[in-house]
Amino acid sequence: MPQNKIDELLKHDVSWLLDSGHDGDIAISSRIRLARNIQGLPFPIAASPAELEQVQAAAEMALKKSEVIGKKYIDFHMADYTEVERQILLERRLISNEFVKKDQHTSLFVKQDESCAVMINEEDHLRIQTLCPGLQLMKVWEQINKLDSELEESLPYAYDSKLGYLTSCPTNVGTGMRASVMLHLPGLVLSGKINAAIQGVNKLGLAVRGIFGEGTDNRGNLFQISNQSTLGESEPQIIERLNTVITQIISHEKSCRNTLLADKKYFLLDHVGRSYGILRHAYTLSSEEALNSLSDLRIGVDMDMFNSVDLHTVNKLFLTINPAHLQKFAQKELSSQERDIFRAAYVRKQLKDADHKN
């Protein structure tokens, strides 16, 4: 049954939220996405249902043969799932906002640990992604490059010798690659330096987005920084340039945290303590308040202010307090007010359990 596949997904920890990545106190995760289309078939926006079905069948066959995605994969036919179940996939960063709305001849293949996912018939025939915890762009590139090469053996890609890979959106033509790193930057925010940092990043030709990508805000002091240009540079060049900028931002964030601790210690302790109090004792919590309070709790954990809360618990909460996950746990649809009440109870229990473990 379709529901069982969602349940199977929820049984396992999300690999990209593990606290084992390089610079994992600031760099939450690294992700690379590739846009690919099959030669000789119209892009999804212009394809007929029969052509979309042809793409779906060919892509699924190629993925089932893949050694990279392996035997422990979960496949989803989007037409079989409710809107809430699709939102769970979005909240886990496995699909895009656009893909949530599509249900005809669309599939998703996910490696069991969620480190790799492939959308079939999104904006392009294939949207391939790999994720790792922390700042590990080269590792992510090696994984996705291997999967991409495997798929290309079975699926001839639409490619032009001058332009590179051909895509539905002109901004993806060339490498078809979007590389991004999700950063937790409360130090820059609390120091009032985040706007200057964003402006500097934008001037370097990189994009700054919220937790769920384009068009989303930066709740929880979480920022995704990614390349904008896909034409005129090779994949390693794009990754190297992004990696250099990310490393500088991480350095600035660490400097801001150290300055806050040295010069505004009680301001920082009070800020973190108040947020912890809200999370432990509130009886209604909106998504925004929960994410912002968790951000404060996370900087407290990162700076060794707590021995009763671990990073794994905080990272897990960043994901599971989202609306679709909460409704899945409640086993029913909830109104906005009901979600806020359920969220508060869920967070209180998780933090209480973490306290008992430690």
Q: What is the Cα–Cα distance from 124 to 36, expressed in whole angstroms?
A: 6
- On whether the pTM is more than 0.85, the answer is yes
Residue 1 has a pLDDT of 46
Segment 120-167, tens digit of pLDDT:
999 999 999 999 999 999 999 999 999 999 999 999 999 999 999 999
Q: What is the Cα–Cα distance from 157 to 192, expressed in whole angstroms?
A: 46
Mean pLDDT over residues 99-115, rounded? 92
Strand partners, 222: 184
Choose the CATH number for 2-256 among 3.30.930.10, 3.30.590.10, 3.30.2320.50, 1.10.3720.10. 3.30.590.10
Write the CB contacts of 132 (distance below 8 Å, at least 6 apart in sequence).
15, 16, 21, 29, 30, 115, 139, 140, 143
Segment 255-308, tens digit of pLDDT:
999 999 999 999 999 999 999 999 999 999 999 999 999 999 999 999 988 878
